[in-house]
Amino acid sequence: MTGPTAALSGLSGWVQPRGPWMGRRQLVARFAGEAETATLYTASAFAGELERILARSRFHSVALTGRDPLGQAAFLAAAAQVKRPPLPMMVETDGQRPEALPGLRDAIRMVQVAPPASSGAPLERALESLAVAAQLGSEHALVLAAGARESDGALLRVVEQAHRASAGTMIVVHPAPGDIATPRDRRWTDFLERASALHDDVRLLPILDG
């Protein structure tokens, strides 16, 4: 084999469960973790497999997900050079590799960032990823899981920081399973009012796979 390769644990259709493209039917390319059964693809084989699947079934977009998809930036860039998919591509990332985004400028439409923590270095790197995506002209979203231990104040601080990183960020807040927001839920209506004063695009949605 020549050129970059990557191990994928699957290529299949699913419904996006979170973020601004939530509810869309996507073709998901899931990069494998160390313990997962995987198939090794060359960039050319991956591009050909995407083309074959997309020709026989309709999808809204392609989702690049799984274990550290931006760690495969060279592979993804090479695949895009072989043949760009006819549909927009979204990468789901924890935001810890902002330096990988410029090399994928022409391949990725949406950068969906779900940071592993609401403070500290991981959040700072995630915010940097939003800023880089904005500079590249890519659509970009910050997905926040509002767990039972996450205070409204902490979430609002992240909203404010994301606004400073990029005013064009789509911010989607998913309440914890069992804490589903309703129009009469005072906590969430108050939170959304305060968040909307900090940033123009804040959405509150129940996650589909909670």
Asked if residue 48 belongs to a domain, the reply is: yes
DSSP assignment string, 138-197: -EEEEEEEE-TT--HHHHHHHHHHHHHH-TT-EEEEEEPTT----TT-HHHHHHHHHHHH
For 110, left (φ over 0), alpha (ψ -120 to 50), or beta? beta
Q: What is the pLDDT of residue 150?
A: 77
Q: What is the pLDDT of residue 35?
A: 80
Among the ranges given (48-52, 58-62, 147-151, 161-165), the one the predictor scored with the smallest mean pLDDT: 147-151
Asked if residue 65 belongs to a domain, the reply is: yes
Q: What is the pLDDT of residue 200?
A: 97
Closest CA to 47 of 84, 72, 12: 84
Q: Write down the pTM of the prediction.
A: 0.93
If one compares 119 and 140, the residue with the highest pLDDT of the two is: 140
Q: What is the pLDDT of residue 180?
A: 64
User: How many structural domains are present in the chain?
Assistant: 1
Asked if residue 83 belongs to a domain, the reply is: yes
Q: What is the pLDDT of residue 136?
A: 97
pLDDT higher than 60, residue 87:
yes
Residue with tokens 């979170």: 18
Residue 3 confidence class, pLDDT cut points 50, 70, 90: confident
Distance, in Å, from the CA atom of 94 to the CA atom of 60, rounded to the nearest integer, reads 23
Average pLDDT over residues 89-109: 96
Q: What is the pLDDT of residue 2?
A: 67
Q: Percent of the chain, pLDDT > 90?
A: 79
Asked if residue 153 belongs to a domain, the reply is: yes
Q: What is the pLDDT of residue 156?
A: 96
Q: Point out which residues pair with 17 in neighbouring strands.
A: none
CB contact set of 81 (below 8 Å; sequence gap of 6+): 43
Q: Which backbone phi and psi does 15 adopt, to 5 degrees?
A: -105, 125
Domain region containing 138: 5-204
Asked if residue 24 belongs to a domain, the reply is: yes
Q: Could you report the per-residue pLDDT of 132-163, keeping only the tens digit for each? A: 999 999 999 999 988 767 789 999 999 999 99
If one compares 168 and 106, the residue with the highest pLDDT of the two is: 168
Residue 119 confidence class, pLDDT cut points 50, 70, 90: confident
Distance, in Å, from the CA atom of 94 to the CA atom of 123, rounded to the nearest integer, reads 9
Distance, in Å, from the CA atom of 29 to the CA atom of 74, rounded to the nearest integer, reads 16
| Number of C-beta neighbours around residue 161 at 10 A | 19
Asked if residue 210 belongs to a domain, the reply is: no
Average pLDDT over residues 95-119: 93
In this structure, what DSSP letter does residue 145 have?
E
> What is the domain-level CATH number for residue 132?
3.20.20.70
Pairing of strands 61-66, 5-15: unpaired
Residue 186 confidence class, pLDDT cut points 50, 70, 90: confident
Q: What is the pLDDT of residue 183?
A: 58
Asked if residue 103 belongs to a domain, the reply is: yes
Q: Which backbone phi and psi does 92 adopt, to 5 degrees?
A: -100, 125
Asked if residue 140 belongs to a domain, the reply is: yes
